[in-house]
Chains A and B, each alone.
Chain A
Amino acid sequence: MSNRLAVRQTGALARRSVLDTLRLPQAWFPSIFFPLTLMAIFTGSFTETFSRVPGFPDVPSFLDFAVAGAIVQGILIGGTSAGAAFATDIEGGFFDRLVASPVSRAAILLGRLGGSVALGVGQAVLFIGIAVLFGARVEGGVAGFVLVLVLAAVFAVAVGGLGVYLALRTGSSEAVQGTFPLFFALMFFSSAFFPRETMDGWFRTIADLNPISYLVEGMRDLIIVGVEPRPTLISFGVALALAGAAVGASALAFRRRLGDG
């Protein structure tokens, strides 16, 4: 099979994945509604207090601080939905028909991940756009904005890959959806909503060990500080490591499901 054909197939399957999500409000609504609502509630709750909290970074407003957490949360929720949609394809037999057809096997996997990337970047643009409308600023300028989108894309590959892995291993959309509380916990036990410097004890230790902390902090620095090499590189390192592990695991699970591995 020519590479050109495989690329076209990947594009078609990515398009299908995006349209599938957009067609079902229950698939995209939570990943937009919950992060935006929490961002608004936290901004209303902490705008008056954050500057008096010892250890809180110097930011013009809490909204600027909250945007990165909302983007990562949206991608986590969206990735769960994408994984559940892939599991629905397996349950409904579409996956088997696809495998039996001359479609490239890599395209099946990459198409789904491409869909996750498109939705993740779309969410990031939407959340930053809404925050800017309400007075937030991206201190990193155009370069910072583009880097945030690239980070969002790499993280979307990681979460989408994990969703695909879970779908391939369980073959059940309910089981994939059931992992949502775990992602929710990962967000809260990180610096997604409040800085690590304000935490203490065992909670701080978990936040220090949680990769989501470093991912959000790099993204947040691009918004509230500007383009600084160290946090950006750490954030990209974490996102790439997660994406590599998730894609590798989903490729292995794919082979195992087909009986090749």
Chain B
Amino acid sequence: MIARAITVSGGLAVRNLLLVRRMPSVFLPALIMPVFILVATAGAFGGIGAIPQLEDSSYLAFTVPLATVMGGGFAGINAGMTLARDIQGGFVDRLVASPAPRVVLILGPLIAACARSLVTTTAVLAAASLGGVFPPGIVGTTVIYVMAALFAAATACWAMGVALQTRSVQSIPLMQIVVFLSVFLSVAYVPRELQTGWLRVAADLNPVTRILEASRATEFEGASWSTLGPGLAASTLLIVGLGLFALAGLRGLGRR
């Protein structure tokens, strides 16, 4: 049973990744947007890098974790988009009627989202290198990849949960808006110490803040458990919570 689940999940993950080549209009924006966010944010708000709290680093370097985490978010959203299309196209019905365990329906795209986040993170790091900001050593770079992949897993669970609950491609904007807001209501543009009012409160409560801070602190100060721990804990919390949301949608499959 477990061996079959792993095999089918792997097959679905490969199918999800192959769709990148078959439907580039759907997946290319998810690759381009994180690089666009890096370039546009660092270019437009580059002047912020001159203030004392940020003067030790360039604003481009400060923006790298925002773009890699956002890239993970796009990879996760793609998992939900694909699942919504598969539900409407009847592919999911055929899979549910097969002897494969249902959980593969979310495990396969989840693995594909994490794999796709490796590509978007690489694209962002390559673009940053062109701007003179190079990856921060093996451990630091690994942490940046891991944080983006964990966020991809969390957003994939969210997007697939929405797809399973609504069973319609019309729910794609909902998947996107929530992911965008979760990132922009964190420490997207300045550190928490510099935020004011309601945004500071939102960033304090937002788990994505810890993920971005873990990635950013590792980039600037090197890896340490004090910064990595909250990021890993926040990612785990999101993946478990949103994973349960996706599983709830999976249980309802075939009932309606």
Contact = CB atoms under 8 A, between A and B. Distances in A.
A49 B190 contact: yes
Q: Is the interface of A mostly helix, strand, loop or mixed?
A: helix
A87 B202 CA distance: 39
B152 interface: no
A193 B200 contact: no
Given A26-B173, A54-B50, A42 B43 contact: no
Interface string A7-51: 000000000000000000010000000000110111111111100
A166 to B, nearest CB: 17
Interface stretch (A70-78, A97-105, A198-206): A198-206
A44 B196 contact: yes
Interface string A164-195: 00000000000000000100010011000111
A230 interface: no
Contacts of A53: 47-48, 50-51
Contacts of A48: 190, 194-196
Contacts of A44: 195-200
Interface residues of B, number: 30
Given A53-B47, A185-B40, A189-B40, A42 B29 contact: no
Nearest to B32: A181
B44 interface: yes
Interface in A225-261: none
- The number of chain A residues touching the other chain, given as a range, is 20 to 34
B51 A49 contact: yes
A194 B44 contact: yes
A185 B41 CA distance: 11
Given A43-B199, A44-B197, A55-B47, 12 more contacts: A38-B184, A44-B199, A45-B188, A48-B195, A49-B48, A49-B53, A52-B52, A188-B36, A188-B40, A193-B45, A199-B47, A203-B44
A94 interface: no
Interface in B34-65: 36, 39-41, 43-48, 50-53
Interface string A129-166: 00000000000000000000000000000000000000
Contacts of A47: 196-197
A62 to B, nearest CB: 9
7 contacts: A37-B181, A53-B51, A55-B47, A188-B36, A189-B40, A193-B45, A199-B44
A177 to B, nearest CB: 11
In the A-B complex, the 8 residue pairs with the closest CB atoms: A44-B199, A198-B47, A203-B43, A188-B40, A45-B189, A53-B47, A52-B51, A47-B196
Contacts of A199: 43-44, 46-47
B212 interface: no
Contacts of A189: 40, 43-44
Nearest to A45: B189
Query: In the complex, which of the residues A44, A46, A47 has the most CB atoms of chain B within 10 Å of its own CB atom?
Result: A44
B185 interface: yes
Contacts of A188: 36, 40-41, 43-44
B45 A181 contact: no
Contacts of B188: 41, 45
Contacts of B52: 52
Given A49-B48, A53-B47, A193-B45, A42 B189 contact: yes
